[in-house]
C-alpha cells in the first residue's frame, strides 16, 4: 500500500499536469488562482485512500478525485460571496480579488469542469458515479440553503444544525470515500459503511472547524478567527451556549450578539468569555468525539483486513487533531 504522503504526491502531480488557464482570461484566471492554492485537498485524498483500501486501481480514480476537488472549490467561490468572507486560505477570496459577477461565473465553469473530470474513468462505472455525484451536489446546495435560512430564524435546534452540516459538508466526504470504493469494485455493504464513515467524520470535521473559528490562530487557520461570532452564525457553539445560558449570562450573550460588526473585537472577546464560562469548547469536543466513535463503528463493519484500514484511520486521527 502507498502511504498517505505518496497518495498526496500523486494528487499534487495530477493537478500540476492540468491547465486551468484560457480565454476569456477573467473567466479562467480565478479558476487557476483557486486551484493553484491547493488547500488541504482532503476529498481527492479520500477517493484514493478508499480505492486502494479495497485494492482497486488508483489510476482509474485520479480524474474523479480531481473532479470532486474542483466541485468543492466551486462551492467555496459561491459560499464566500454569500458569507461575505474576505479571506480564504490566507488569501483574498475570488469575489474580493475580482468581483462578485466574476466569482459567480467562474464558479459555474468550475462546476462544469468537475463533471468533465468525474466522467474520465471506467465507462461501466459512470451510471453509479454520476448518481452519487448528482445526489451529493444537490445535497450540498440544500445544506447551503439551510445555512442561509438559519441566519433569519430564531428557533434553530442543534439537531437542525447537525443536519445542515451533514448536507453542506459531510456528504461530500462520504461521497469521496464511496466513489473510491465504487471504482475499486467493493461490495454493497462495504460501500455503504465507508460512506457513513465519511459522513460521520465530516460532521466531526465541521464541528472542529467551528471550534477553530473561535479558538485558532488566524495564521494557522487561514481565515479571520471569530468570524462566526461577528456574523451571528448559528454554529454548534452558538446554539449550545444559548441552550445552557441562564438569567444574567443569557442576557449578556444576547447583548453581545446584538452588537454590529463595527464592535467586532468587543463582540468576539465578550462571547468567547461566555463560551469559556459555559465550558463550550469541551462540550464541542465531546460532540466531535461522538461522531468519531460512530465513524469507527462503521469502519469496523467493513470486511477487509485491519492493515488495509490503517491509512484511513491515520487520516482521521490527523483530521481530529488539526489546528488549521
Q: Which residue has the cell 479558538?
A: 215
Judged against a pLDDT cut of 90, whether residue 142 lies above it is answered with yes
| Band of pLDDT at residue 219, cut at 50, 70 and 90 | low
- CA quadruple 151, 156, 160, 166: dihedral positive or negative? positive
Answer yes or no: is pLDDT of 184 > 60. Answer: yes
SS3 of 33-66: the string is HHHHCCCCCHHHHHHHHHHHHCCCCHHHCHHHHH
Partners of residue 87 on adjacent β-strands: 92
What pLDDT score does 121 carry?
92
More confident residue, 83 or 163: 163
* 211-215 mean pLDDT: 93
Mean pLDDT of 29-34: 96
> Residue 38 above 80 pLDDT?
no
Say which residue the cell 500523486 belongs to.
Answer: 10
Greatest CA separation for the chain? 63
Task: Say what the pTM is.
Answer: 0.94
Overall average pLDDT of the 134-142 stretch: 98
| CATH topology assigned to domain 4-321 | Farnesyl Diphosphate Synthase (1.10.600)
Cα–Cα distance between 315 and 323 in angstroms, integer? 14
Which grid cell is 263? 464592535
Integer Cα distance of 228 and 213 in angstroms: 7
Amino acid at each position: 500500500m502507498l502511504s498517505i504522503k505518496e497518495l498526496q504526491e500523486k494528487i499534487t502531480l495530477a493537478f500540476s499536469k492540468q491547465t486551468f488557464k484560457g480565454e476569456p482570461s477573467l473567466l479562467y484566471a480565478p479558476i487557476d488562482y483557486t486551484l493553484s492554492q491547493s488547500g488541504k485537498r482532503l476529498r481527492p485524498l479520500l477517493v484514493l485512500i478508499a480505492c486502494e483500501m479495497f485494492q482497486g486501481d488508483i489510476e482509474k480514480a485520479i480524474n474523479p478525485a480531481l473532479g470532486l476537488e474542483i466541485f468543492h472549490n466551486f462551492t467555496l467561490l459561491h459560499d464566500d460571496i454569500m458569507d461575505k468572507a474576505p479571506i480564504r486560505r490566507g488569501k483574498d477570496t475570488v469575489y474580493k480579488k475580482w468581483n462578485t459577477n466574476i466569482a459567480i461565473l467562474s464558479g459555474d465553469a468550475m462546476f462544469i469542469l468537475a463533471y468533465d473530470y468525474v466522467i474520465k474513468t471506467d465507462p461501466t462505472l459512470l451510471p453509479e458515479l454520476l448518481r452519487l455525484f448528482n445526489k451529493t451536489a444537490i445535497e450540498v446546495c440544500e445544506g447551503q440553503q439551510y445555512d442561509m435560512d438559519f441566519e433569519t430564524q430564531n428557533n434553530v435546534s442543534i439537531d437542525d444544525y447537525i443536519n445542515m452540516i451533514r448536507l453542506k459538508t459531510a456528504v461530500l466526504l462520504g461521497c469521496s470515500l464511496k466513489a473510491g470504493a465504487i471504482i475499486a469494485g467493493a461490495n454493497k455493504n462495504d460501500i455503504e459503511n465507508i460512506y457513513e464513515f465519511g459522513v460521520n467524520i465530516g460532521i466531526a470535521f465541521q464541528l472542529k472547524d467551528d471550534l477553530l473559528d473561535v479558538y485558532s490562530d488566524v495564521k494557522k487557520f487561514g481565515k479571520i478567527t471569530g468570524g462566526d461570532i461577528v456574523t451571528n452564525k448559528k454554529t454548534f457553539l452558538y446554539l449550545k451556549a444559548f441552550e445552557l445560558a441562564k438569567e444574567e449570562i443569557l442576557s449578556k450573550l444576547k447583548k453581545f450578539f446584538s452588537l454590529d460588526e463595527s464592535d467586532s473585537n468587543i463582540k468576539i472577546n465578550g462571547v468567547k468569555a461566555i463560551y469559556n464560562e459555559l465550558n463550550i469548547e469541551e462540550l464541542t469536543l465531546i460532540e466531535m468525539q461522538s461522531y468519531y466513535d460512530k465513524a469507527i463503528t462503521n469502519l469496523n463493519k467493513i470486511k477487509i483486513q485491519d492493515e488495509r484500514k490503517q491509512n484511513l484511520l491515520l487520516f482521521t486521527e490527523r483530521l481530529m487533531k488539526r489546528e488549521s
